[in-house]
Amino acid sequence: MRKRLFVSVAALATGLSLLVAASFAGAATTAAGTAGKAGKTGGTLNVNLSATDFDFLDPSLSYASWSWQFTYLVNLKLLNFPDKPRPEGSQLVAEGADLPTISADGKTYIFTVKSGFKFNTGEVVTAQSFADGIDRTMNPKMQSPGAQDIFLGSVVGYADAVAGKTTHLSGVTVKGNVLTIKLSKADPAFLSKISLPFFSAIPKGMPINDKGEHTFASAGPYYIKSYDVGRQAIIERNPNYTGSRPHNLDRIVVTINTDLDQSFLQVKSGQADYDAGGLPPAQVASLAPLLGKQFFVDTQLETDYLALNTSAGRFFSDVSARKAANMAVDRPAMLRARGAFAGKRTDQVLPPGMAGFRDEKIYPIAGADVEKAKALWSKGGKITVYMGNRGAALIQAQVLQYNFKQIGIDTDIQLFTSAVLYSKAGTKGEAFDIASAAWGSDYPDASDFLDVLLNGQNIHATNNNNLAYFNQADINTALNNAAVLSGPARAKAYGDIDVQITSKYAPWVAYDNRNERSFFSSKVDPACYVFQPIYAKPDLASLCLK
Protein backbone atom coordinates (compact mmCIF):
# COMPACT_ATOMS: atom_id res chain seq x y z
CA MET A 1 0.00 0.00 0.00
CA ARG A 2 1.12 3.54 -0.59
CA LYS A 3 2.22 5.64 2.35
CA ARG A 4 0.90 8.98 3.49
CA LEU A 5 3.68 10.65 1.55
CA PHE A 6 4.95 14.19 1.90
CA VAL A 7 6.26 16.37 -0.89
CA SER A 8 10.01 16.90 -0.56
CA VAL A 9 10.92 19.32 -3.32
CA ALA A 10 12.93 21.99 -1.54
CA ALA A 11 16.56 22.94 -1.89
CA LEU A 12 19.00 23.97 0.83
CA ALA A 13 18.74 27.43 2.35
CA THR A 14 22.32 28.60 2.49
CA GLY A 15 23.68 30.26 5.61
CA LEU A 16 20.48 29.69 7.59
CA SER A 17 20.71 29.35 11.33
CA LEU A 18 18.85 26.52 13.04
CA LEU A 19 17.67 28.97 15.64
CA VAL A 20 15.44 30.71 13.12
CA ALA A 21 13.77 27.44 12.15
CA ALA A 22 13.46 26.04 15.65
CA SER A 23 12.04 29.19 17.21
CA PHE A 24 8.81 28.78 15.25
CA ALA A 25 8.54 25.01 15.61
CA GLY A 26 6.36 24.65 18.65
CA ALA A 27 3.13 26.43 17.78
CA ALA A 28 0.88 27.23 14.89
CA THR A 29 0.80 30.75 13.53
CA THR A 30 -1.56 32.94 15.52
CA ALA A 31 -3.07 35.65 13.37
CA ALA A 32 -6.40 36.97 12.16
CA GLY A 33 -6.50 34.21 9.58
CA THR A 34 -6.75 31.33 12.05
CA ALA A 35 -10.44 32.01 12.68
CA GLY A 36 -11.55 31.28 9.12
CA LYS A 37 -13.92 34.23 9.01
CA ALA A 38 -16.42 34.57 6.21
CA GLY A 39 -15.20 36.92 3.52
CA LYS A 40 -15.88 37.69 -0.10
CA THR A 41 -17.20 34.70 -2.03
CA GLY A 42 -16.62 33.77 -5.64
CA GLY A 43 -13.66 33.92 -7.95
CA THR A 44 -10.94 31.51 -9.03
CA LEU A 45 -7.98 30.39 -6.93
CA ASN A 46 -4.93 29.57 -9.07
CA VAL A 47 -2.85 26.86 -7.42
CA ASN A 48 0.45 25.35 -8.52
CA LEU A 49 1.51 21.83 -7.57
CA SER A 50 5.27 21.99 -8.06
CA ALA A 51 7.45 19.02 -8.99
CA THR A 52 4.71 16.44 -8.62
CA ASP A 53 1.23 15.33 -9.61
CA PHE A 54 -1.61 13.94 -7.54
CA ASP A 55 -1.10 10.30 -6.74
CA PHE A 56 -4.86 9.94 -7.32
CA LEU A 57 -7.99 12.00 -6.79
CA ASP A 58 -10.14 8.85 -6.72
CA PRO A 59 -11.31 8.46 -3.08
CA SER A 60 -10.47 4.75 -2.95
CA LEU A 61 -6.87 5.30 -4.07
CA SER A 62 -5.71 8.76 -3.02
CA TYR A 63 -3.21 8.49 -0.16
CA ALA A 64 -0.68 11.30 -0.56
CA SER A 65 -0.86 14.22 1.83
CA TRP A 66 -0.99 16.79 -0.98
CA SER A 67 -3.78 14.87 -2.74
CA TRP A 68 -5.86 14.66 0.44
CA GLN A 69 -5.79 18.46 0.62
CA PHE A 70 -7.88 18.45 -2.56
CA THR A 71 -10.03 15.36 -1.97
CA TYR A 72 -11.09 17.06 1.29
CA LEU A 73 -12.88 19.56 -0.95
CA VAL A 74 -14.94 16.99 -2.85
CA ASN A 75 -15.60 14.04 -0.53
CA LEU A 76 -18.66 13.59 1.68
CA LYS A 77 -18.01 11.35 4.69
CA LEU A 78 -20.22 9.87 7.39
CA LEU A 79 -18.28 11.90 9.95
CA ASN A 80 -15.55 14.42 9.25
CA PHE A 81 -13.02 16.72 10.82
CA PRO A 82 -14.39 20.23 10.38
CA ASP A 83 -12.96 23.20 8.50
CA LYS A 84 -11.58 24.73 11.69
CA PRO A 85 -8.21 25.20 13.37
CA ARG A 86 -7.14 23.42 16.56
CA PRO A 87 -8.73 22.24 18.77
CA GLU A 88 -12.12 22.10 16.98
CA GLY A 89 -10.59 20.89 13.74
CA SER A 90 -9.25 17.78 15.49
CA GLN A 91 -12.64 16.64 16.78
CA LEU A 92 -14.96 14.48 14.69
CA VAL A 93 -18.38 15.91 13.87
CA ALA A 94 -21.41 14.62 12.01
CA GLU A 95 -21.33 15.23 8.25
CA GLY A 96 -23.22 12.89 5.91
CA ALA A 97 -24.78 11.08 8.85
CA ASP A 98 -25.71 11.82 12.43
CA LEU A 99 -23.33 10.71 15.15
CA PRO A 100 -23.89 6.95 15.44
CA THR A 101 -25.56 4.87 18.08
CA ILE A 102 -22.97 2.42 19.45
CA SER A 103 -23.82 -0.86 21.15
CA ALA A 104 -22.72 -1.48 24.73
CA ASP A 105 -20.09 -3.99 23.59
CA GLY A 106 -18.65 -1.49 21.10
CA LYS A 107 -19.18 -3.80 18.14
CA THR A 108 -22.24 -2.33 16.37
CA TYR A 109 -22.43 1.18 14.90
CA ILE A 110 -25.72 2.51 13.56
CA PHE A 111 -25.51 5.61 11.33
CA THR A 112 -28.60 7.51 10.19
CA VAL A 113 -27.71 9.16 6.89
CA LYS A 114 -28.96 12.72 6.57
CA SER A 115 -31.33 13.82 3.83
CA GLY A 116 -30.61 16.73 1.51
CA PHE A 117 -27.14 15.83 0.26
CA LYS A 118 -26.73 15.46 -3.49
CA PHE A 119 -23.90 14.73 -5.90
CA ASN A 120 -23.07 17.45 -8.40
CA THR A 121 -25.06 15.43 -10.98
CA GLY A 122 -28.22 15.67 -8.88
CA GLU A 123 -28.09 12.06 -7.65
CA VAL A 124 -29.30 11.83 -4.04
CA VAL A 125 -26.88 10.60 -1.38
CA THR A 126 -28.23 7.57 0.49
CA ALA A 127 -26.93 5.06 3.01
CA GLN A 128 -26.13 2.84 0.04
CA SER A 129 -23.79 5.55 -1.32
CA PHE A 130 -21.57 5.02 1.73
CA ALA A 131 -21.88 1.21 1.68
CA ASP A 132 -20.83 1.27 -1.98
CA GLY A 133 -17.81 3.40 -1.11
CA ILE A 134 -16.71 0.90 1.54
CA ASP A 135 -17.21 -2.10 -0.75
CA ARG A 136 -15.36 -0.46 -3.65
CA THR A 137 -12.36 0.31 -1.46
CA MET A 138 -12.29 -3.25 -0.09
CA ASN A 139 -12.53 -4.83 -3.54
CA PRO A 140 -9.08 -6.40 -4.20
CA LYS A 141 -9.30 -5.34 -7.85
CA MET A 142 -9.05 -1.71 -6.70
CA GLN A 143 -5.72 -2.31 -4.91
CA SER A 144 -6.75 0.39 -2.44
CA PRO A 145 -4.48 1.42 0.46
CA GLY A 146 -7.72 1.75 2.43
CA ALA A 147 -8.09 -2.04 2.39
CA GLN A 148 -5.34 -2.51 4.98
CA ASP A 149 -6.28 -4.54 8.05
CA ILE A 150 -5.35 -1.61 10.30
CA PHE A 151 -8.32 0.38 9.00
CA LEU A 152 -11.43 -1.80 8.66
CA GLY A 153 -9.97 -5.18 9.51
CA SER A 154 -12.33 -5.43 12.47
CA VAL A 155 -15.47 -5.22 10.29
CA VAL A 156 -17.33 -8.51 9.93
CA GLY A 157 -16.64 -9.97 6.48
CA TYR A 158 -13.40 -8.05 5.95
CA ALA A 159 -11.25 -11.13 5.26
CA ASP A 160 -13.63 -12.52 2.62
CA ALA A 161 -13.92 -9.13 0.88
CA VAL A 162 -10.19 -8.44 0.57
CA ALA A 163 -9.64 -12.05 -0.55
CA GLY A 164 -12.09 -11.52 -3.40
CA LYS A 165 -14.57 -14.10 -2.12
CA THR A 166 -17.33 -11.50 -2.09
CA THR A 167 -17.87 -7.98 -3.37
CA HIS A 168 -19.71 -6.88 -0.24
CA LEU A 169 -18.72 -6.77 3.43
CA SER A 170 -21.32 -8.82 5.28
CA GLY A 171 -20.94 -6.61 8.35
CA VAL A 172 -22.15 -3.55 6.43
CA THR A 173 -25.92 -3.45 5.92
CA VAL A 174 -28.37 -0.85 4.63
CA LYS A 175 -32.03 -0.41 5.50
CA GLY A 176 -33.58 2.77 4.19
CA ASN A 177 -31.46 5.67 5.39
CA VAL A 178 -29.75 3.58 8.10
CA LEU A 179 -26.25 2.17 7.66
CA THR A 180 -25.23 -0.48 10.20
CA ILE A 181 -21.64 -1.63 10.60
CA LYS A 182 -20.84 -4.65 12.77
CA LEU A 183 -17.36 -5.41 14.08
CA SER A 184 -15.88 -8.74 15.09
CA LYS A 185 -14.08 -7.01 17.96
CA ALA A 186 -14.34 -3.59 19.56
CA ASP A 187 -12.12 -0.91 18.04
CA PRO A 188 -11.95 2.37 20.01
CA ALA A 189 -10.48 4.17 16.96
CA PHE A 190 -13.18 2.97 14.56
CA LEU A 191 -14.96 6.32 14.12
CA SER A 192 -11.71 7.99 13.05
CA LYS A 193 -11.01 5.15 10.63
CA ILE A 194 -14.46 5.16 8.99
CA SER A 195 -13.97 8.91 8.46
CA LEU A 196 -10.95 8.38 6.21
CA PRO A 197 -11.36 9.58 2.59
CA PHE A 198 -11.38 5.97 1.34
CA PHE A 199 -14.88 5.47 2.75
CA SER A 200 -16.61 8.52 1.30
CA ALA A 201 -19.98 8.39 -0.47
CA ILE A 202 -19.71 7.45 -4.15
CA PRO A 203 -22.29 7.61 -6.97
CA LYS A 204 -24.10 4.53 -8.21
CA GLY A 205 -22.06 2.38 -10.56
CA MET A 206 -18.68 4.04 -10.00
CA PRO A 207 -16.31 1.73 -11.90
CA ILE A 208 -13.77 -0.57 -10.30
CA ASN A 209 -10.54 0.88 -11.70
CA ASP A 210 -7.16 0.38 -10.07
CA LYS A 211 -5.78 3.21 -12.22
CA GLY A 212 -8.27 5.59 -10.59
CA GLU A 213 -11.20 7.54 -11.97
CA HIS A 214 -10.13 11.04 -12.99
CA THR A 215 -13.56 12.66 -12.84
CA PHE A 216 -16.56 11.37 -10.94
CA ALA A 217 -19.66 12.71 -9.24
CA SER A 218 -18.99 14.14 -5.78
CA ALA A 219 -21.27 15.14 -2.91
CA GLY A 220 -18.92 17.46 -1.01
CA PRO A 221 -18.70 21.24 -1.41
CA TYR A 222 -16.80 20.85 -4.71
CA TYR A 223 -16.38 18.36 -7.54
CA ILE A 224 -13.60 17.60 -10.02
CA LYS A 225 -14.66 19.06 -13.35
CA SER A 226 -11.55 17.87 -15.20
CA TYR A 227 -8.19 16.26 -14.52
CA ASP A 228 -5.53 16.10 -17.21
CA VAL A 229 -2.78 13.97 -15.65
CA GLY A 230 0.52 15.82 -15.43
CA ARG A 231 -1.00 19.09 -16.57
CA GLN A 232 -4.07 20.52 -14.87
CA ALA A 233 -7.08 19.85 -12.66
CA ILE A 234 -10.14 22.08 -12.41
CA ILE A 235 -12.26 21.83 -9.26
CA GLU A 236 -15.59 23.65 -9.17
CA ARG A 237 -18.27 24.33 -6.60
CA ASN A 238 -20.93 21.60 -6.33
CA PRO A 239 -24.14 23.41 -7.39
CA ASN A 240 -26.23 20.98 -5.33
CA TYR A 241 -24.31 21.27 -2.07
CA THR A 242 -26.46 22.50 0.82
CA GLY A 243 -24.27 21.43 3.74
CA SER A 244 -22.60 23.65 6.30
CA ARG A 245 -19.00 23.40 5.11
CA PRO A 246 -17.48 26.55 3.57
CA HIS A 247 -17.25 26.79 -0.22
CA ASN A 248 -16.26 30.38 -0.79
CA LEU A 249 -14.48 30.03 -4.12
CA ASP A 250 -16.22 29.34 -7.44
CA ARG A 251 -13.35 27.19 -8.70
CA ILE A 252 -9.80 26.11 -8.06
CA VAL A 253 -7.47 25.65 -11.02
CA VAL A 254 -4.44 23.46 -10.27
CA THR A 255 -1.42 23.62 -12.57
CA ILE A 256 0.62 20.44 -12.12
CA ASN A 257 4.39 19.79 -12.17
CA THR A 258 5.41 23.44 -12.08
CA ASP A 259 8.94 24.55 -11.23
CA LEU A 260 9.30 25.32 -7.51
CA ASP A 261 11.49 28.42 -7.87
CA GLN A 262 9.47 29.86 -10.75
CA SER A 263 6.26 29.13 -8.88
CA PHE A 264 7.48 31.07 -5.85
CA LEU A 265 7.99 34.13 -8.06
CA GLN A 266 4.54 33.65 -9.59
CA VAL A 267 2.88 33.65 -6.15
CA LYS A 268 4.94 36.65 -5.11
CA SER A 269 3.79 38.59 -8.18
CA GLY A 270 0.18 37.41 -8.03
CA GLN A 271 0.31 35.30 -11.20
CA ALA A 272 -0.51 32.31 -9.01
CA ASP A 273 -2.10 32.29 -5.56
CA TYR A 274 -0.49 29.32 -3.77
CA ASP A 275 1.89 26.41 -4.36
CA ALA A 276 0.65 23.17 -2.77
CA GLY A 277 4.04 21.60 -3.60
CA GLY A 278 5.93 23.66 -1.04
CA LEU A 279 8.47 26.47 -0.93
CA PRO A 280 12.14 26.80 -1.92
CA PRO A 281 13.88 26.77 1.50
CA ALA A 282 16.38 29.39 0.38
CA GLN A 283 13.45 31.80 0.06
CA VAL A 284 11.53 30.97 3.23
CA ALA A 285 13.45 33.21 5.64
CA SER A 286 12.58 36.22 3.46
CA LEU A 287 8.89 35.62 4.16
CA ALA A 288 9.18 36.26 7.91
CA PRO A 289 7.78 39.85 7.65
CA LEU A 290 4.64 38.38 6.03
CA LEU A 291 3.77 36.01 8.90
CA GLY A 292 0.03 36.06 9.50
CA LYS A 293 -0.54 38.08 6.32
CA GLN A 294 0.56 36.02 3.35
CA PHE A 295 2.81 33.49 5.10
CA PHE A 296 1.67 30.94 7.68
CA VAL A 297 3.54 28.32 9.71
CA ASP A 298 1.64 25.46 11.34
CA THR A 299 2.70 22.35 13.23
CA GLN A 300 1.81 18.91 11.91
CA LEU A 301 1.36 15.47 13.47
CA GLU A 302 4.28 14.22 11.39
CA THR A 303 7.69 12.59 11.85
CA ASP A 304 10.63 12.45 9.43
CA TYR A 305 12.84 9.45 10.07
CA LEU A 306 15.42 6.99 8.81
CA ALA A 307 14.07 3.44 8.87
CA LEU A 308 16.88 1.08 9.88
CA ASN A 309 16.37 -2.29 8.23
CA THR A 310 16.40 -4.77 11.14
CA SER A 311 15.98 -7.84 8.90
CA ALA A 312 18.32 -10.74 9.56
CA GLY A 313 21.54 -10.35 7.61
CA ARG A 314 21.27 -6.59 7.20
CA PHE A 315 23.69 -4.19 8.90
CA PHE A 316 21.13 -2.89 11.37
CA SER A 317 19.98 -6.30 12.56
CA ASP A 318 22.39 -5.51 15.41
CA VAL A 319 20.72 -3.25 17.98
CA SER A 320 24.08 -1.74 18.96
CA ALA A 321 24.54 -0.53 15.39
CA ARG A 322 21.04 1.01 15.48
CA LYS A 323 21.75 2.85 18.72
CA ALA A 324 25.08 4.03 17.33
CA ALA A 325 23.27 5.43 14.29
CA ASN A 326 20.97 7.38 16.61
CA MET A 327 24.02 8.87 18.32
CA ALA A 328 25.88 9.58 15.08
CA VAL A 329 23.21 11.38 13.03
CA ASP A 330 23.32 15.17 13.24
CA ARG A 331 19.64 16.08 13.68
CA PRO A 332 20.17 19.87 13.47
CA ALA A 333 21.91 19.47 10.11
CA MET A 334 19.13 17.23 8.82
CA LEU A 335 16.55 19.84 9.81
CA ARG A 336 18.56 22.77 8.42
CA ALA A 337 18.36 21.20 4.97
CA ARG A 338 14.65 22.04 4.95
CA GLY A 339 15.16 25.79 5.47
CA ALA A 340 13.60 28.33 7.83
CA PHE A 341 10.57 27.54 9.99
CA ALA A 342 10.97 23.88 8.96
CA GLY A 343 10.06 22.15 12.21
CA LYS A 344 11.37 20.81 15.48
CA ARG A 345 14.06 18.22 16.15
CA THR A 346 13.01 14.91 17.68
CA ASP A 347 14.32 11.44 18.45
CA GLN A 348 11.00 9.62 18.98
CA VAL A 349 8.30 8.00 16.84
CA LEU A 350 5.24 9.88 18.09
CA PRO A 351 5.06 13.60 17.31
CA PRO A 352 4.32 16.24 19.96
CA GLY A 353 0.59 16.86 20.12
CA MET A 354 -0.26 13.18 19.72
CA ALA A 355 -2.06 11.76 22.75
CA GLY A 356 0.44 9.73 24.75
CA PHE A 357 3.58 11.54 23.59
CA ARG A 358 6.09 12.43 26.26
CA ASP A 359 9.49 13.92 25.52
CA GLU A 360 12.18 11.63 26.96
CA LYS A 361 15.30 12.98 25.16
CA ILE A 362 16.73 9.52 24.55
CA TYR A 363 19.26 10.46 21.87
CA PRO A 364 21.10 13.75 21.21
CA ILE A 365 19.07 16.36 19.34
CA ALA A 366 21.58 19.22 19.67
CA GLY A 367 24.05 17.47 17.35
CA ALA A 368 25.85 14.18 16.83
CA ASP A 369 27.62 12.48 19.75
CA VAL A 370 30.42 10.77 17.85
CA GLU A 371 32.20 9.40 20.91
CA LYS A 372 29.11 7.64 22.25
CA ALA A 373 28.38 6.31 18.78
CA LYS A 374 31.91 4.87 18.55
CA ALA A 375 31.55 3.32 21.99
CA LEU A 376 28.43 1.51 20.77
CA TRP A 377 29.86 0.47 17.39
CA SER A 378 33.53 0.14 16.44
CA LYS A 379 33.33 -2.54 13.74
CA GLY A 380 33.01 -0.23 10.74
CA GLY A 381 31.24 -1.60 7.68
CA LYS A 382 29.28 -0.41 4.67
CA ILE A 383 25.57 0.41 4.38
CA THR A 384 23.15 1.03 1.51
CA VAL A 385 20.94 4.09 1.96
CA TYR A 386 17.78 4.83 -0.06
CA MET A 387 17.03 8.56 -0.29
CA GLY A 388 14.91 10.93 -2.34
CA ASN A 389 16.46 12.38 -5.48
CA ARG A 390 15.74 16.07 -5.13
CA GLY A 391 15.85 19.11 -2.90
CA ALA A 392 16.49 18.71 0.81
CA ALA A 393 17.09 14.97 0.44
CA LEU A 394 20.25 15.62 -1.57
CA ILE A 395 21.72 17.72 1.24
CA GLN A 396 20.59 15.22 3.86
CA ALA A 397 22.35 12.45 1.94
CA GLN A 398 25.63 14.37 2.28
CA VAL A 399 24.98 14.87 5.99
CA LEU A 400 24.48 11.14 6.48
CA GLN A 401 27.58 10.23 4.51
CA TYR A 402 29.65 12.50 6.72
CA ASN A 403 27.99 11.34 9.96
CA PHE A 404 28.56 7.65 9.31
CA LYS A 405 32.11 8.23 8.03
CA GLN A 406 32.89 9.74 11.44
CA ILE A 407 32.27 6.35 13.05
CA GLY A 408 33.97 4.30 10.34
CA ILE A 409 30.92 3.32 8.27
CA ASP A 410 30.89 3.83 4.50
CA THR A 411 27.59 4.66 2.81
CA ASP A 412 26.31 3.81 -0.65
CA ILE A 413 23.64 6.45 -1.28
CA GLN A 414 21.02 5.46 -3.86
CA LEU A 415 18.58 8.18 -4.99
CA PHE A 416 15.02 7.60 -6.18
CA THR A 417 11.77 9.45 -6.71
CA SER A 418 9.47 9.17 -3.71
CA ALA A 419 7.18 6.66 -5.40
CA VAL A 420 10.06 4.37 -6.39
CA LEU A 421 11.77 4.71 -3.02
CA TYR A 422 8.68 3.63 -1.07
CA SER A 423 7.93 0.83 -3.52
CA LYS A 424 11.44 -0.60 -3.28
CA ALA A 425 11.83 -0.15 0.47
CA GLY A 426 8.34 -1.59 0.97
CA THR A 427 9.34 -4.89 -0.67
CA LYS A 428 10.39 -7.50 1.87
CA GLY A 429 13.93 -8.70 1.22
CA GLU A 430 15.03 -5.55 -0.61
CA ALA A 431 18.77 -5.05 -0.08
CA PHE A 432 18.95 -1.73 1.74
CA ASP A 433 20.02 -0.73 5.25
CA ILE A 434 18.40 2.70 5.61
CA ALA A 435 15.33 4.18 3.92
CA SER A 436 14.57 7.86 4.39
CA ALA A 437 10.85 8.26 5.07
CA ALA A 438 8.14 10.51 6.47
CA TRP A 439 4.79 9.79 8.04
CA GLY A 440 1.85 12.04 8.81
CA SER A 441 -1.18 10.88 10.75
CA ASP A 442 -4.20 9.57 8.88
CA TYR A 443 -6.23 10.27 12.01
CA PRO A 444 -5.23 11.58 15.46
CA ASP A 445 -4.41 8.34 17.24
CA ALA A 446 -1.04 6.85 18.16
CA SER A 447 -2.01 3.50 16.61
CA ASP A 448 -1.72 5.16 13.19
CA PHE A 449 1.99 5.59 13.85
CA LEU A 450 3.02 2.69 16.05
CA ASP A 451 0.76 -0.09 14.75
CA VAL A 452 0.98 0.86 11.09
CA LEU A 453 4.72 1.47 11.05
CA LEU A 454 6.21 -0.84 13.69
CA ASN A 455 3.91 -3.80 14.38
CA GLY A 456 5.73 -6.82 12.96
CA GLN A 457 2.45 -8.64 12.38
CA ASN A 458 1.71 -6.18 9.57
CA ILE A 459 4.75 -7.14 7.45
CA HIS A 460 3.83 -8.52 4.02
CA ALA A 461 5.68 -9.49 0.85
CA THR A 462 5.19 -6.05 -0.74
CA ASN A 463 3.67 -2.62 -0.02
CA ASN A 464 4.97 -2.52 3.54
CA ASN A 465 4.68 0.53 5.78
CA ASN A 466 7.02 -1.06 8.35
CA LEU A 467 10.16 -0.12 6.41
CA ALA A 468 12.38 -1.13 9.34
CA TYR A 469 10.93 -4.66 9.13
CA PHE A 470 10.82 -4.42 12.90
CA ASN A 471 9.22 -7.56 14.35
CA GLN A 472 9.64 -7.80 18.11
CA ALA A 473 7.26 -10.19 19.88
CA ASP A 474 6.95 -8.19 23.12
CA ILE A 475 6.23 -4.99 21.19
CA ASN A 476 3.69 -6.71 18.93
CA THR A 477 1.87 -7.98 22.01
CA ALA A 478 1.98 -4.58 23.69
CA LEU A 479 0.59 -2.91 20.55
CA ASN A 480 -2.22 -5.44 20.27
CA ASN A 481 -3.12 -4.89 23.92
CA ALA A 482 -3.03 -1.10 23.55
CA ALA A 483 -5.34 -1.22 20.52
CA VAL A 484 -8.34 -2.34 22.60
CA LEU A 485 -7.90 0.36 25.26
CA SER A 486 -9.55 3.76 25.23
CA GLY A 487 -9.13 7.14 26.87
CA PRO A 488 -6.15 7.96 29.10
CA ALA A 489 -5.18 4.27 29.43
CA ARG A 490 -4.82 4.03 25.65
CA ALA A 491 -2.71 7.18 25.43
CA LYS A 492 -0.41 6.06 28.26
CA ALA A 493 0.04 2.59 26.78
CA TYR A 494 1.06 3.94 23.39
CA GLY A 495 3.32 6.55 24.99
CA ASP A 496 5.09 3.82 26.94
CA ILE A 497 5.53 1.73 23.78
CA ASP A 498 7.00 4.70 21.91
CA VAL A 499 9.64 5.16 24.61
CA GLN A 500 10.36 1.42 24.84
CA ILE A 501 10.78 1.02 21.07
CA THR A 502 13.04 4.06 20.82
CA SER A 503 15.24 3.42 23.85
CA LYS A 504 15.48 -0.38 23.80
CA TYR A 505 15.26 -1.38 20.14
CA ALA A 506 15.96 1.80 18.09
CA PRO A 507 14.55 0.69 14.69
CA TRP A 508 14.41 4.33 13.54
CA VAL A 509 16.50 7.44 13.62
CA ALA A 510 13.67 9.96 14.01
CA TYR A 511 15.04 13.45 13.43
CA ASP A 512 12.29 16.06 13.03
CA ASN A 513 8.60 16.90 13.20
CA ARG A 514 7.87 19.03 10.18
CA ASN A 515 5.91 22.29 9.99
CA GLU A 516 3.61 23.17 7.12
CA ARG A 517 4.72 26.46 5.55
CA SER A 518 2.18 28.19 3.32
CA PHE A 519 2.63 31.29 1.18
CA PHE A 520 -0.25 33.01 -0.62
CA SER A 521 -0.52 35.85 -3.09
CA SER A 522 -1.65 39.26 -1.86
CA LYS A 523 -5.04 38.57 -3.49
CA VAL A 524 -5.91 35.98 -0.80
CA ASP A 525 -7.66 37.40 2.29
CA PRO A 526 -5.72 36.30 5.42
CA ALA A 527 -8.92 36.61 7.49
CA CYS A 528 -10.20 33.47 5.75
CA TYR A 529 -7.11 31.32 6.38
CA VAL A 530 -7.73 28.03 8.20
CA PHE A 531 -5.15 25.31 8.80
CA GLN A 532 -6.94 21.96 8.98
CA PRO A 533 -4.90 20.08 11.62
CA ILE A 534 -5.82 16.51 10.64
CA TYR A 535 -5.14 16.97 6.94
CA ALA A 536 -2.15 19.15 7.90
CA LYS A 537 -2.76 21.61 5.07
CA PRO A 538 -4.46 24.96 4.51
CA ASP A 539 -8.19 24.45 4.05
CA LEU A 540 -8.80 25.62 0.50
CA ALA A 541 -12.58 25.52 0.95
CA SER A 542 -12.31 28.30 3.55
CA LEU A 543 -10.13 30.64 1.48
CA CYS A 544 -11.54 33.76 -0.08
CA LEU A 545 -10.18 36.47 -2.32
CA LYS A 546 -10.03 40.15 -1.44
pLDDT for residue 29: 46
Q: How far is CA 6 from CA 50, 73, 112, 147, 388, in A?
A: 13, 19, 35, 21, 11
User: What CATH number does residue 356 fall under?
Assistant: 3.10.105.10
Does residue 324 sit in the same domain as residue 191?
no
Q: How far is 318 from 311, CA to CA, in rounded Å?
A: 9
Residue 155 belongs to some domain of the structure? yes
Residue 540 belongs to some domain of the structure? no
Under 8 Å between Cβ of 206 and 130:
no
For 390-403, the DSSP string reads: STHHHHHHHHHHHH
pLDDT for residue 38: 56
- pLDDT, one tens digit per residue, over 5-40 is 444 433 333 333 333 333 333 334 434 444 455 568
- pLDDT, one tens digit per residue, over 160-202 is 999 999 999 999 999 999 999 999 999 999 999 999 999 999 9
Rounded average pLDDT over 509-525? 98
Residue 284 belongs to some domain of the structure? no
pLDDT for residue 107: 98
Residue 39 belongs to some domain of the structure? no
Under 8 Å between Cβ of 77 and 195:
yes
For 37-91, the DSSP string reads: -------EEEEEEET---S--STTT--SHHHHHHHHHH---SEE--S--TTGGGS
Residue 419 pLDDT level (bands cut at 50, 70, 90): confident
Q: Which of 166, 199, 232 is the last residue of a domain?
A: 199
Residue 276 belongs to some domain of the structure? no
Question: Does the pLDDT of residue 1 top 70, yes or no?
Answer: no
Residue 190 belongs to some domain of the structure? yes
Does residue 181 sit in the same domain as residue 314?
no
Does residue 352 sit in the same domain as residue 476?
yes
Rounded average pLDDT over 263-288? 95
Does residue 165 sit in the same domain as residue 312?
no
Residue 116: give the domain boundaries.
Answer: 74-199
Count of domains in the chain?
2
Whether the full predicted model's pTM is greater than 0.75, yes or no, is yes
Does residue 351 sit in the same domain as residue 494?
yes
Q: How far is 358 from 351, CA to CA, in rounded Å?
A: 9
Q: Which of 199, 233, 251 is the last residue of a domain?
A: 199
Arithmetic mean of pLDDT over the chain: 92
- pLDDT, one tens digit per residue, over 53-79 is 999 999 999 998 899 999 999 999 999
Residue 253 belongs to some domain of the structure? no
Residue 492 belongs to some domain of the structure? yes
Under 8 Å between Cβ of 330 and 347:
no
Under 8 Å between Cβ of 541 and 222:
yes
- pLDDT, one tens digit per residue, over 343-374 is 999 999 999 999 999 999 999 999 999 999 99
pLDDT for residue 34: 43
Which amino acid belongs to residue 333? A
What is the 8-class DSSP label of residue 239? Answer: T
pLDDT for residue 449: 96
Q: How far is 546 from 167, CA to CA, in rounded Å?
A: 49
Does residue 183 sit in the same domain as residue 312?
no
Q: Which of 199, 227, 260 is the last residue of a domain?
A: 199
Residue 392 pLDDT level (bands cut at 50, 70, 90): confident
* DSSP H or E run through 498: helix 487-500
Q: Residue length, the chain? A: 546
pLDDT for residue 35: 47
pLDDT for residue 4: 52
Residue 52 pLDDT level (bands cut at 50, 70, 90): confident
- pLDDT, one tens digit per residue, over 129-142 is 999 999 999 999 99
Does residue 194 sit in the same domain as residue 341?
no
Does residue 337 sit in the same domain as residue 466?
yes
Residue 148 pLDDT level (bands cut at 50, 70, 90): confident
Does residue 323 sit in the same domain as residue 191?
no
Return the SS3 of 170. coil
- pLDDT, one tens digit per residue, over 233-261 is 999 999 999 999 999 999 999 999 999 99
User: What CATH number does residue 127 fall under?
Assistant: 3.90.76.10
Task: Give the CA dihedral 224, 204, 248, 43, nearest 10 degrees.
Answer: 40
With a CB cutoff of 8 Å and minimum separation 6, the contacts of 71 are 57, 59, 62, 197, 200
pLDDT for residue 541: 96
Cα angle, residue 207 at apex, residues 230 and 253 outer, rounded to 5°: 30
Does residue 192 sit in the same domain as residue 327?
no
Q: How far is 282 from 280, CA to CA, in rounded Å?
A: 5
The fraction of the chain above a pLDDT of 90, given in percent, is 87
